[in-house]
Amino acid sequence: MEDLYETPYKYSLGASWRRYYSSARRRDSLMRRIITTFKYEILAQVILNPLNVVLDYMQPVLIQQLLRFITNYSSNPLIGLRYGFFLAIAMLFFSLASTAIQQQQDWGARTLLMHIRNTLVGLLTQKTLRRRTKGAAVAKDPTSEYGQSDESEGRAYNVLSTDIQRMASLIKLLRASMLMPIQLLIGAYYMYNLLGTAGVLGTMVLMLAVFMTRTLIFRAKCIEVVLGKLNDRRLTVINEVVRGIVSVKLFGWGSRFVRIIGCRRKEQLVWLWKRAKVRSLINLCTLGSLPFVSFATFVVYSKRHTLDAESIFTAIAVFKIIQRSVESMPLLIADSTAFYVSFRRIETYLDQQEVQPLDERVARNAAQDVVGFENATLLWDASTYTDEAVDDETFKLRNLDVWFPRGGLTLIGGSTGSGKSSLLAALVGEMELINGCVRVPVSASTDEQPLGSLSSAVINDIAYVPQEPWLRNATIRDNILFGEPYNHERYENVLHMCALLADLHIFAAGDMAEVGERGITLSGGQRQRISLARAIYSQRKILLIDDCLSAVDAQTARHILHKCLLSADELMNGRTCLLVTHHMAICLPHCDFVVLMQGGRIAFQGTSTDHIPSSGVDVDGDTDLIYSNLGSRYNSYVSITSDTENSNGKLIQEEVRNHGLIKLETWKTYFAPCGGLKFVLACLGCIGTTQFLAMYKDYYLAKRLGSKDITSTNHLLSEPPTSVMSWLIVYLSFGMLSAIISSLALLLTYSGSLKASATLHDDLISSIVSAMPRFLDTTPIGRIMARFSRDMQAVDDDIMVGLNNIMRPLISLIITLITISSVVPLFAVVGLIVLALYAHFTWQFIKALRNSKRLESTTFAPIISLYSEMIPGGDSIRAFAMESAYMREMEKRYSSYLSAEFSRRSMTRWMRIRIGIVSSFVTFITAWFILANIDTISSGLAGFILIYTVNFWTESIVIVRKYGDLELSLNSVERIHQYLDIDHEAPAEMPADDALAAGWPNTGKLNVRELVAGYTEHTPVLNKLSFAVGHGKRVGVVGRTGAGKSSLSLALLRMIEASNGSVELDGVDIAGVGLERLRQSITIIPQNPVLFNGTVRLNLDPFGKYSDPLLIDALQRTLLLKGSPANERTTVAAFESLDDIIADGGQNLSLGQRQLMALARALVRRSRLVIMDEATASVDFETDKSIQRTIRGIEFSDSTLLCIAHRLRTIIDYDYILVLDEGKVVEFDTPACLIKKKDGYFYRLCKNSNEFEMLQELACGSNQE
């Protein structure tokens, strides 16, 4: 990238953006606004395109004059050759002029495209920052278990990648819309002067033939609309699978989702084949119309006139100009329909629902430090709101009337689903205000232009910590700073206050370690504390913190409470803090204000000294806050940030960019599924035959005319009409046969293309699903999605069409050179020189172009990656008023992409000018050779040679341009192939699976011996870990962050492979079991469950193995089913039936409800081994008690249970406690024994938990039982 020139500012995203906003009227349509903004560039096209057409028609005029001169010279050689050479020089002059004008026009058109695409990227980025990310309406696909929303992330990726790239069709549309009418009008006028009414008739027939294709064009447009929707659905599923790949692997669902995606792909391929057939028919109609029009014109003309070379070949030259437009019509129609559909999809995306502007929901005259609601009613989607009578089922915050005290700590509690998180979301603007008013501090926007601003005001002085922490794909430090300047002392204090110092020592690069996509390399507690540190480090005075204590152990929670939220440090001095939590007991004595939510209403507000109802919240726990040694664990670590400025904590590596020629392996990867060499030869044969017949029909006509020229000046007047008709019929037959074979060749190439596309897509999704977790950790989602969107679109549409478009002009060019050389042997020398020049220019051009296009691909992926941050993180970005910062980051990344694209444009212009100059001289030299051999060349043969030589420039440019496009498309195959050749997990199925009992494992007996495992080969995180658990036993797993708890669960599921030791389940070494069989036999309930867009049934049972009554029973036992007697006193229930739709990532559910869905999955599977990783951390204590009763009930009585927990009360009555530290077992015994060891690790955990007496009583009571 450093070798590329920076794009001039006038072509930059910022320049285009500012022009758009300074000149466009917002009430106009998007297209009208674009036209208004860039009217001068469009005007330049209006001027240059007609001028280019006039210069194109100068060649037929000069050919006509030259053929007339040859005819006159043959009858009177005394006139000399001076006039003939003058005409040859004129052809050279006008050809050079046409080259210059055409290049100027093309540069202007591509500049216009750059401006329009810049503007659309800016608009789409702004919309992404404005659009609702939660609570949007969910649309259901009635034909599938999968739901599909117009606002899905898959649709967003498709619009931001594929649809934006299709805007390149605008150049062709502009050229066609301006050139074709003028070409037809000038051509009709010329044909009238040349052939009289026959010429006009021919032009009208041609226009009629084009008009008659309108049915096919309409059909093509409808297919493009369907394909766009199918592509959205496919990308939605792929996006969800890639984002939730860990859950897909953990549950052994890989093959199921591969089949689901395969079905989506097959449906898309069916419509792609329908599109191919329609395009083939359009090709047949357009190409078949040309010889028919010529035939009809010549037949009508021959009735009253002589068919001579001057008239016929001048007419053919004119038809050639028209033919260029008509021949390109199939591709133009395809591009125009794709452009229309993509532009409409972009408009639809820009019309999506946005968050409510601040001006409409916030009182602007409020004091800057006032936070609260005034008789406010809010809901997630105002479009679903009708009235109170019929809208009772829609969740909303109702009649909120509360003011939060300044400079103090406010607790917000309530049961799961009561509206706690919604209340904070309402303050930052994620919910829509129906009536009343919201009071938050706002300030006027300071941007020069509205780069991402939602209105003239922005939220001021608020920092937001969402329940699901959102992290950037950057270093830990960058995530904490979040645009703020680095202050070492402040930064160190924040790390200590948020208990992060101990965690930083885990990473070799300390705080300079990258966290990966959405913090994938971090534990849930680490992500939450980094999100908290971002808010604390900021200068904002109002902190909205959503449940930051649930993902950490009790000791860390107490540290955060006392050393951070209640700290007397100047960092917290005067800051207003609103804390949503289920840990009310430890927080109540220290808060200034309490708000309890129930059903979207405020059930209680007051101070901690008031009588607080305990329904749904734990307010009666031990409130003794003696913590004399609380800080020892965190204070023992010194800063590691000062020595890590230059540390390499890079997780995401630079994308691999190939160099040099497209490798043979890449060609094989694409053509092998097509049919290999036989397919290639068949395609070449069809294309070669097509072009040979197309040219031979003109050569046949030239020979017929040439033979008569020699015998008579009025040669065809004496020939019978039937004879004229016979060879004109032969002429027509060659043309129609060429059109038919061309259409069949197009179908053949499309069939091969779709076979290759299907194979590559299947191989790619299988490769990604079975990839090693490390690859998925270090590869941004944007890179993966770019393969499935932009690169796969190139494979679907471009490669075979590009080959077809290269071979046709290449064969035409070769035949032209051979024909001229056979007539004038000396021209062979010129031909070799021309080929040498072409080869030199092309080689220099392709070398530079290849790297430039690869740079375009690699610089486009970071743009998609940035979108992958913005789409889920919109609420945090808006809360911190960072929209403009993200717009500037987008401008920076897009500038890198523009530099590569601008370099490619400059190279292309360099090449075309040189090709144009050489081609112009080829035309001049050909004319000179014809004049030099005028005695031996007939006027018919001269006409044939001239019309194809004049097209030399056009054909040459097409070859070079299409080859460049082909390399870009093959670069997509190359990029896809990179992800086929990655490290994969062990096989999903193994031969030993057949030997296992049908119901294996029959027991949950687990035996771990000397287990050594790690994420990398030389860095184990589990060190000779050994323990054994009998069938049906419950084991609580505890330990500090980084102790190896989650790593143990991953090792049991072989997400990380053992380098030594063994794990036996029911007496079978799991190393010999296929991954899917193993993972489907074990159930894990993760801390951050992943749900998929689709029905409840799909999320509970993707394989369709279980009955509906069993699924409904699981929902009832997890309190998620409405109408169940067990749910009458809770607000957890979310579903009415198994057909209810869950949105992308479960966004229409609270985090607690998502955890309960994961628990319902476990109830459905009834596995002999169940692993729970903080499975109820985000639910309230009452719901937790209900869930614990279910876990201790008959449902799991026949299962061995491993439970990783920070709530010690959750596991204190289990059969055994497994204490881990640094990947080793430090304690393993019954809770009663461990709690009596005063020097033990578990004893210290219980002592510092604020619940020691209760835990001791429960442990001893359990032991007595």
One DSSP character per residue, 30-70 reads HHHHHHHHTHHHHHHHHHHHHHHHHHHHHHHHHHHHHHHHH
Question: Where does the pLDDT of residue 717 fall: very low under 50, low under 70, confident under 90, or very high at 90 and above?
Answer: very low
Instruction: State the pLDDT at residue 395.
Output: 80
Instruction: State the pLDDT at residue 307.
Output: 74
Q: Is 1113 helix (H, G, I), strand (E, B) or coil?
A: helix
pLDDT at 8 exceeding the cut of 60: yes
Instruction: State the pLDDT at residue 722.
Output: 57
| Lowest model confidence (mean pLDDT) among 290-294, 529-533, 574-578, 1112-1116 | 290-294
| Lowest model confidence (mean pLDDT) among 186-200, 508-522, 767-781, 1176-1190 | 1176-1190
In this structure, what are the phi and psi dihedrals at residue 1164, rounded to the nearest 5 degrees? -70, -40
Instruction: State the pLDDT at residue 875.
Output: 87
Write out pLDDT tens, residues 779-819. 888 788 888 888 888 888 888 878 887 888 888 778 777 87
b/e per residue 174-196 (b: at least 16 CB within 10 A)? bbbebbbebbbebbbebbbebbe
What are 547's two structure tokens? 């449940």
At which residue do the structure tokens 């913005």 appear? 870
Domain with CATH 1.20.1560.10 in the chain: 9-353+661-980
Domain with CATH 3.40.50.300 in the chain: 405-417+457-635, 991-1264
Question: Where does the pLDDT of residue 288 fall: very low under 50, low under 70, confident under 90, or very high at 90 and above?
Answer: confident
In this structure, what are the phi and psi dihedrals at residue 605, rounded to the nearest 5 degrees? -145, 135
CATH code for residues 991-1264: 3.40.50.300
| Lowest model confidence (mean pLDDT) among 356-370, 568-582, 779-793 | 356-370
Instruction: State the pLDDT at residue 707.
Output: 54
Instruction: State the pLDDT at residue 1094.
Output: 82
pLDDT at 46 exceeding the cut of 80: yes
Query: Mean of the per-residue pLDDT values for the chain?
Result: 80
Q: How many helices (H) and strands (E) does the chain have?
A: 43, 23
Q: What percent of the chain lies above the pLDDT cut of 90? A: 13
pLDDT at 759 exceeding the cut of 90: yes
| Lowest model confidence (mean pLDDT) among 484-488, 984-988, 1154-1158 | 1154-1158
Contact 1035, 1220 (CB under 8 A): no
Instruction: State the pLDDT at residue 652.
Output: 66
What are 759's two structure tokens? 């194979």
Question: Where does the pLDDT of residue 269 fall: very low under 50, low under 70, confident under 90, or very high at 90 and above?
Answer: very high
Amino acid letter, residue 987: P
Write out pLDDT tens, residues 683-706. 888 888 888 888 888 778 777 765
pLDDT at 640 exceeding the cut of 70: no
Q: What is the mean pLDDT of residues 1070-1089?
A: 87
DSSP class per residue in 741-778: HHHHHHHHHHHHHHHHHHHHHHHHHHHHHTB-HHHHHH
Instruction: Output 983 or 939, whichever has higher pLDDT.
Output: 983
pLDDT at 536 exceeding the cut of 90: yes
Question: Where does the pLDDT of residue 629 fall: very low under 50, low under 70, confident under 90, or very high at 90 and above?
Answer: very low
Cis? peptide before 466, omega within 30° of 0:
no
CA 609 from chain centre, in angstroms, equals 53
pLDDT at 209 exceeding the cut of 70: yes
Distance CA 1015, CA 416 (A): 35
Pick among 1.20.1560.10, 3.40.50.720, 1.10.357.10, 3.30.930.10: CATH of 9-353+661-980: 1.20.1560.10
Task: Give whole-number Cα distances, 269 to 642, 674, 700, 800, 1054, in Å.
Answer: 56, 15, 42, 15, 35
Instruction: State the pLDDT at residue 716.
Output: 41
Contact 886, 870 (CB under 8 A): yes
Distance CA 171, CA 757 (A): 27
Write out pLDDT tens, residues 978-1002. 899 888 998 988 888 888 877 888 8
Contact 960, 911 (CB under 8 A): yes
Write out pLDDT tens, residues 90-107. 989 998 998 899 889 888
pLDDT at 312 exceeding the cut of 80: no
Question: Where does the pLDDT of residue 578 fall: very low under 50, low under 70, confident under 90, or very high at 90 and above?
Answer: very high
Q: Is 435 helix (H, G, I), strand (E, B) or coil?
A: strand
At which residue do the structure tokens 């329009």 appear? 116
Residues 6+ apart with CB under 8 A from 455: 357, 358, 359, 445
Question: Where does the pLDDT of residue 400 fall: very low under 50, low under 70, confident under 90, or very high at 90 and above?
Answer: very high
What are 834's two structure tokens? 């021309």
Distance CA 1049, CA 1056 (A): 9
pLDDT at 306 exceeding the cut of 70: yes
| Lowest model confidence (mean pLDDT) among 306-315, 327-336, 811-820, 1019-1028 | 327-336
Distance CA 865, CA 883 (A): 16
In this structure, what are the phi and psi dihedrals at residue 82, rounded to the nearest 5 degrees? -60, -45
Pick among 3.30.200.20, 3.30.1340.30, 3.10.450.350, 3.40.50.300: CATH of 405-417+457-635: 3.40.50.300
What are 563's two structure tokens? 């050393």
Instruction: State the pLDDT at residue 384.
Output: 59
Instruction: Output 944 or 2, whichever has higher pLDDT.
Output: 944
Instruction: State the pLDDT at residue 319.
Output: 73
pLDDT at 649 exceeding the cut of 70: no
Residues 6+ apart with CB under 8 A from 180: 325
Q: What is the mean pLDDT of residues 472-486?
A: 90
How many CB atoms are closer than 10 A to CB 1047? 21
Distance CA 251, CA 536 (A): 37
pLDDT at 858 exceeding the cut of 60: yes
User: Is the dihedral angle over the CA atoms 1028, 1030, 1031, 1037 positive or is it negative?
Assistant: negative
Write out pLDDT tens, residues 153-200. 666 767 877 788 777 777 767 776 777 777 777 877 777 887 888 877
Instruction: State the pLDDT at residue 268.
Output: 93
Q: Is 434 helix (H, G, I), strand (E, B) or coil?
A: strand
In this structure, what are the phi and psi dihedrals at residue 636, rounded to the nearest 5 degrees? -70, -10
Measured distance between the N- and C-terminal CA atoms of the chain, rounded to whole angstroms: 70
Residues 6+ apart with CB under 8 A from 86: none
Q: What is the mean pLDDT of residues 1050-1069?
A: 90
Instruction: State the pLDDT at residue 1153.
Output: 81
pLDDT at 325 exceeding the cut of 70: no
Q: Is 951 helix (H, G, I), strand (E, B) or coil?
A: coil
pLDDT at 973 exceeding the cut of 70: yes
